[in-house]
Structure 1
Amino acid sequence: MKVLVSTKVLSEITEKIEKGDWKPGEKLPSLSALASEFSISVSTLREVMRILEEKGYVLIEHGRGMFVRAQSYWRSDDMFELSGLPIGNMTSLLEFRNLLEPEMARLAAERGSTGQIRLIKDAASRMIANIEKGEDYFEADIAFHEYIAEACANEIMAKVMKDISDLLLESRRNTIRIPGSAQRASHFHMLIALAIEQRNPQMAKDMMSFHLNDVKQDFLRLRELDAMKDGMEEELP
C-alpha cells in the first residue's frame, strides 16, 4: 500500500512542477510541510523527493532545502551527451566557455527569476565561505555556473552546462594548484552574481569574461610549471 501512496504523490508533485505551480529556482516547502499536505509520512516523502532529484525535477541541498530545477534537467538522459569529451582537453573547454558563458551571464541578468538569482548569489556566497573555512567548495563552484545556465531560460544552454560539469570540475581541480586561484574565482563569482542581481546584463557579461580570462591565465601558469617540472626530471641522472 505504501508503494501505491508514494507513486500517487510522486505523480502529483511531478504534475505540479510540470504545470508551473512551482517555478524553476523556487524553494519547496519543508519535508514535514509537504508530508502534511499530501497526507503521507516524512520517510515516504523523502523517498519521493529522492526519486524526483534523480529524475532532475528538484535539487536537494542539505542544510538549505529543496529547489525546483529547470525543464532542461527533466529526463535529461534522452538528450544529447557531452560526457564523452576528453577530460584533459582544457584548452578546448576554455574556448568553448568563452563563447558561451559571458552571453549566459547576460541572459541571466535579463531573464532570471528572483528565485534563480537568489540561488546564483547563494552559491557564490557558499563558495567564499567554504574556502575561508578550508572546506570543499567544488560543489558550490559548479552549482554557480549551472544556476546561471538555468536562469537563461534557454534549455539547450542549461543542458550543455550540465553535461560539461565533469569537465568544469576537472578544470577546477587543476587550477587549484595555483596559489590564490580559488579565492580569485570566488571573488569573480560574487561580482557576477551582484551584476545579475542588479539586472545589469553588460556588467554580468564583462565580469564573466574577466573571470574566464583569469582562469586562462591560471592554465598558462600550469603549463609553465609542468614544463619546468619535466625539464628538471630530464636533468636527473
Structure 2
Amino acid sequence: MIEAEAGRAYPGGARHGRVVHSLGRQIVTGELAPGDPLPVEERLVAELGVGRSAVREGVKVLAGKGLLESRTSAGTRIRPRESWSLLDPDVLGWRFEPGPRPEDVRLLADLRVALEPGAARVAAERADAAGIRGIDEALAALYATADDPDAFIEADLAFHRAVFAASGNDLLLHAYEMISIALRSVRHVHTRVVSHNKETLPGHERVALAIRRHHHRKAEEAMREVVEVARADAERTAMDAKDAHD
C-alpha cells in the first residue's frame, strides 16, 4: 500500500509534495526496486488522496532527481541507483531516515574521511580573519556543550561547517551542507558518552590551531585524525544498533 505522508514542505503547500515524498522514500529504501513499474496513476490518486495533476507533477520532480524514467513503450519505471542524484537533499534524507543501514553509515563516514581533511588543508591556506573567528567560536561552543550530548552533536556539526566556510570555497561548503543533511539524520549513531566526547576536544582544537597558524599539512593531518575517530565511532554504534534490532 502506498503510504500517504506530507513530507517536507513544498512552495505554497503544493499537493505534489505528498507524491514526491511518499514515492521517493519507497524508491530510495528499496520498497520499489529498480526496474519496477510505477503504480498506475489511478492507484496513486486514490491512495495518496491527490489529483492527477499532482501525481504528474510529483513524477516530474522525481524524474528530475534521477529516480524515475518515462518511456512511451514501457511506461514509468524506477531507475537504477547509479542514476539517482545521491546528494539531492530529499534523496539524502530518505536514505538516512529513519534508520540507516550500517552500510550507509559506513559510506557516509568514508565520504567524510575523503573530503574533510582536504577542506581543512584549504582552510589553513585560505582562511581570513572572519573564517578563523568562526572556527574559534565553534570550538568554544564544543567545549561549552561537552556535558550535553545532543547539544554537542549540533556544536560538532557547526565546527565542521565553520572549517568548510573558512576555506572560502563555495563548492566545498555546498558539499558539506549536503553531507550535513545525512549527518543530522544519523544523530542516533553518534556517541552520547560524555567522557568520550570530551576526549575528542583536543583533536578539534588541533585542527583549529593549525588553521589559525596557516599550517596546512598539520590541519589536514589533525582533521584526518578527527574524522577517523568519528568513523570508528559511527560504525561501531551502527553495528551495535543492528545487533540489538536483530
Structures share fold, TM-score greater than 0.5: yes
Q: Could you tell me which amino acid in structure 2 is paired with residue 229 of structure 1?
A: A
Cα deviation for residue 228 of structure 1 reads 4.7
* Match status 1:198 vs 2:213: yes
Cα deviation for residue 129 of structure 1 reads 0.9
Contact 2:148 2:194 in 1 (8 A): no
The answer for the alignment partner of 2:222 in structure 1 is 207
Change (3 A) 1:139 1:178: closer
Change (3 A) 1:216 1:203: same
The correspondence for 2:124, drawn from 109, 112, 127, is: 109
Contact 1:109 1:204 in 2 (8 A): yes
Cα deviation for residue 220 of structure 1 reads 3.4
The answer for the alignment partner of 1:139 in structure 2 is 154
Cα deviation for residue 169 of structure 1 reads 2.2
**1:142 and 1:98 mapped to 2: Cα distance?**
15
* Match status 1:217 vs 2:232: yes
**1:95 and 1:163 mapped to 2: Cα distance?**
15
The correspondence for 2:144, drawn from 121, 124, 129, is: 129
The correspondence for 1:81, drawn from 88, 106, 124, is: 88
* Match status 1:155 vs 2:170: yes
Cα deviation for residue 218 of structure 1 reads 1.0
Change (3 A) 1:218 1:162: same
Cα deviation for residue 124 of structure 1 reads 1.1
Change (3 A) 1:182 1:169: farther
Q: Which runs of 5+ in 1 are unaligned?
A: 1-79, 232-237
Change (3 A) 1:161 1:227: closer
Count of aligned residue pairs for this structure pair: 152
Deviates more, 1:138-147 or 1:180-189: 180-189
Cα deviation for residue 171 of structure 1 reads 3.7
Contact 1:82 1:163 in 2 (8 A): yes
Contact 1:181 1:218 in 2 (8 A): no
Percent identical among aligned pairs is 26
The answer for the alignment partner of 1:184 in structure 2 is 199
Cα deviation code 1:43-83 (max 9, x no counterpart): xxxxxxxxxxxxxxxxxxxxxxxxxxxxxxxxxxxxx8344
Q: Could you tell me which amino acid in structure 2 is paired with residue 116 of structure 1?
A: G
Q: Could you tell me which amino acid in structure 2 is paired with residue 225 of structure 1?
A: D
Change (3 A) 1:178 1:221: farther
Deviates more, 1:130-139 or 1:148-157: 130-139
TM-score, normalised via structure 1 length: 0.57
Change (3 A) 1:83 1:124: farther
